[in-house]
Structure 1
Amino acid sequence: MNDNKFAIDILWLNKTAQASNGLKHGDYRRYHLYCTRKLHRLRKALKWTQGRGRFVKRKIGEEEVVSKGGGRSDVRFLWLVLLQAERAWSHGMELKEEAALLQNSKKRMSTRRKRRWPLRKWTKAALWARHLERLCSSIGAPTKTILEAQAYAQLMAGNALLERKQWKASQESFQRAYYILEKLEQTKGTSAQQRHIYRQYIQEMEPSVRYCRYQLTKLQLEENSDNQALFVAELEGQLNRLESELQAKENGASILSVEWRGTRIPIANRRIQQCLQRIVEQENDRDENDITKLEKIISLYMQCIRLVSKEWEQLTITEMDKQIGEEFAMLKAYFVSNRVQLALRRNVLIWNNLESNHVVSWRQRIRLVEHCIKLCEEILQLKDFQNDAESNKYWSQRKQFFRAYRCFYLASYLSSRHMWTESYLSSKKALEDLKQISKEDLRDNWIQEHIDSLQEKITRQACLSKAYAFLDEIRLADKWNELKLDDSTCSVSFNAPLINRLHEIVLPNSFERLAKDWKMIDLQPSFMKVPCKPFLFDIASEELSFPDMSLFVNEGNKSVEDTNAKKGLLGRAVSWFSGKK
């Protein structure tokens, strides 16, 4: 029987590695270097290095793949063979591009070397791909892995034969690969992501098939239909075996697909399949009132949502068609819907415990109801529920019911704080929310059981809040009357602006008088007494004439110059040191 531990998605691994490492832009050298580095890392991880002694070629056979590491199998040996084929193929394409660039330059390669070197690389790639196919068949890999290995080997062989101009053999190899990929694409249980990868390989192969057919028509050669018929017969047997394996997996322990709103969605990710299997096991052993089991199942659904989102982000690197995006959106909506329903069921159980325990504060109850409202909003944002009128109406009613409960809890909390007016307004808002829910269209049994009791609670709370609000007004009036204030005790200067008499008391019987002549502020401020500045001299200073003082200033300067002139050099030095300048 085939073993799932040797399952490997050969074509998907190739496409993702090529798109992430240069081939998206036609950079074969970058992809060749990536394959070399990856091979080195895998050899070190598997301890499959040559060492420093004499070189001895180490072949990867069935014994190494199955019994390496103390009887444990390791699928990474298949990766080694696959990377060897990819490295040889990318090296040949790199050499072909270099030869095309050097064709018209002075450093031109010889014609014989230019042809033989890439051909040797493509032949080596075909041999490694053939070796991978034999390994998958001998170790008991799943039928899907064997078929992908056969398609990959035929594709590599067709590329090598096409470069050698063997048109007939190349066309047969391409047609076999084309037929295998087409059947795999049509197989039931193939995800949209895998169908997209198969379609990409088919589209890349079609120009080569047309070119071979064109060359054969020029040479007037006929196609050999006997070999093709034998190959198709063998392939039909493998495809029937693949369908039986998929049917056995669906009926067995593993979960390969889920159904969402009448659509069957295949699941290719093994980690998601494992999470779904654990969810089924937990649900079979779960008690309806066990909150801890519900928490475990909710965490598993959250893990599935993270895995789907991560795989969706990784696929944005490659070209993803519309069908794959819709499939991922439907799968994510399936997990979100189940998680929301379980979370609401858990919240209802916690709710019942809180209702029986009167010690719990109102804030905890409000927080729990707000979480229920967020869950309803989350499921209403899904595209599938927005397009479905019945589901949208169902979840909108549940959201409206939880909003009414939140207003009721808020009113109860405000009444405990003696905020009667606010409590009455919250109760009124809760009654308005309940009126928007039509009892005839209700499909939720839990809401039908609680909607009448909730309406009674809200009505009772509204009446109490309104009664206590009236009592507070009466008490306030009594306290006001106890002050015994009248016009004689109230010293209100009505002519003064309000900004200057904010501290004064105004009695109700003075309101009419105050409304007739009142001023908030003085728009024209009153004058203030300030000392006057004698600005007369400043104005008359331009008309005054002052005496000429230049004569007195010049005479003083001349007397100083005469004394300095009369002194000689010795006199000046003595006066300097004595301090008399």
Structure 2
Amino acid sequence: MTARKESKSGNDKEVEKEVVVSHKDTITLEVLQVIKDAQSQHGLKHGDYHRYRGYCSRRLKRIRKSLGFVQATGSKSKSTFHAKKITNEVVFEAAKNKKDPIRYLYIPLMTAERAWSYAMALKQEANTEPRKRFHLIRRLFKAVKNAEELERLCNEEPTKCDARTKLESQAYCAYLTGIFYFETEKWTKAQEYLKKAQAIYVKLCEAISDDDTSVHYRQRVDELKPTLRYCAFNIGEQGVGAQDFIANLKFDTPQIEDDILASKLDQLILQTREKQAVTLSEVVWLGKSIAVKQEKIRAFLLSVQEMEVLDSPKVSQLEKLLFECRDCIQVLRDANQEKSALYYYLLYLRLYLTCQRNLLLIKNSQNPSDLIRLYEIIITSLNEIKSLPLEQYFAIDEGLETFLQEIDAQIVAYKAFRCYYIGKVGKLSWKESVALLHRSAQYCAQCLNNKFLKEQMKEELKQLQAKADADKFTIYANSLIAESGETKAPENKGALKPLIERLDEYVEDSSLASGSANLVHFPPKFRPIPCKPLFFDLALNHIHFPSLEEEVASPKAGGLTGFVKGWLSGGWRK
């Protein structure tokens, strides 16, 4: 038993280290994440509310003891209870005493959780013992009172809690109050408080870009939907105009009617944006905020921002960023985050940096034949950007459609450059070269009417179109000149014959007086000559010889002497 208690205590301490978030100027208490992490690690995965209640009691004891805020006076053998109320002065003067003020906020939070878990355990037992339902309601009432105390500590002035902590404490208090009225079957009040909690959690989910945190808000919103429908059903049974409530529940997200609460949400969004702008804890891409937790990725994104400020970055800088980008992508792969928005954002950055590096190489290249390969790499990279599954992570709105149309416009523009250099540099026939230059001019004309291209790119395309038209007519003219030269060649064809073939013709040939006269064909042409015949003796196969059977002597019979010799030599043994 002792070893088991120690292991529990060790696990509890680990949880405490994970959830404590405090700063010098402000205090941030992520209420929902704290309780969800504690619940998942201490029994609620299996519905064991008694285990979770025991954890809350042990943690309360440790917190009070570490803060010196115990409620017992006297000796251990004879102690008396003396209640100590937590006030704002106690909480926010704790820093002067070198104590963490956030731990004072854990006291009402853990007390409320302990009462709530006891109530849920009694709810399970109330199916067989109806009298326990009264005890359940008393425990929920106690949980509501402690949640109200937490809300008061976070919202009353003077306070150092940020807007997020204030909103989370209000949502937590509204949630427990709604559950209390739900169990006491006061449907209208239950609907009012639960709807308030749902509205706050929806707005928090929109304001916080951290996926690990926002998932708890979404889960809580999903948990509240069936409870709100049940309240609406019971309100409708009583005829208290529930049709409008049900209609609102089916469609848009709940609106916050309290102006003070709405202003706090605006303040939360502003604080979050300022904090993330300093620490680069999120990036905004295609209208969506993406949380960045890994320090290595943050450093890489800061390097990208510094590179974009430069007017003329170097190829070495871009290549260094490409290597860093590959390392950051590998970090997410090792963490099994290959299906996150941040992973696809890094893939986009890798392809974007590849395009920028190749454009810089094109600008500095002296060999036109190398440009074809560079433009092909750019077009391939843009096609890969277009093939990313962005619809799964970003809303299909005007921003995403505009982004994809810009990529399409750039692909067509770079195809115009590629066709021009293939037709100009490639070793093709004049017809193929003219066709490619004509296609390049068509691409340019198509891009000049596209509103998604930058003006600088359009100016370059205008120049390319003029060059393509000029080079097209130049190649066509050169081909006509080459064909006319081929038709005039037969007039002097006699001068090209060797002298041995035109001895009966007189042609003025100045090369005869020089040492390079064309006298004979060399090497000489081959001509057929007769070969030595081959003889095959095939007559023997057709000759019939006479029979020699008569000449063969008939065998003679052996005499008595031969028989005796054979018997003496061992022939009798046969």
TM-score when scaled to structure 1?
0.48
* Normalised TM-score (structure 2): 0.49
